[in-house]
Amino acid sequence: MFTHQTHIRVRYAETDQMGYVYYGNYAQYFETGRVEALRSLGYTYRNMEENGVMMPVTHMKTDFIKPALYDDLLTVKTIISTLPTVRMYFTYEITNEAGILLAVGETTLVFVNRATQRPMRCPDFLYAKLEAFIKSK
């Protein structure tokens, strides 16, 4: 299993009239966690797109447990527990500074060849990086 943690400070603009983080912002928090997790493996979205690979989200689920509030420092834990094929599965846990679990989620992304707009297998470089974490456990 591969895990990575990213910290995000809740901005005032991300909250709703009740003072809670607006639910739509969790998709951005998941994206930040996902992008930074892949970056930590040496696989940036910029490089991926320059090499003709796109990764659209095909599924997203979020369970809200407790609200995040303005100025909370959130930890987004991104987890990859299976090796990617044509699809890549991510799970997320969002906690506040006190370690209280606020939300959990999951996304599914598909590798797509930019030129053909057709699904493709996970690039070898990323697969090899993840294989070191997932198969060794």
Confidence at residue 137, expressed as pLDDT on a 0 to 100 scale: 47
| Phi, psi for residue 110 in degrees, rounded to 5 | -120, 135
SS3 (DSSP) at 33 = helix
pLDDT the model gives residue 135: 78
Helical residues (DSSP H) of 41-106, grouped into ranges: 45-50
Mean pLDDT (10-residue bins), the chain, 137 residues: 97 94 97 97 92 97 98 98 97 98 98 97 95 78
Q: Topology of domain 2-134, per CATH?
A: Thiol Ester Dehydrase; Chain A (3.10.129)
Tally of CB atoms within 10 A around 98: 6
Q: How many CA atoms lie within 13 A of 18 on its CB side?
A: 6
Half-sphere exposure of 42 (CA within 13 A, CB side): 8
Token couple for 36: 């930074």
Q: Residues 133, 97: contact at Cβ < 8 Å? A: no
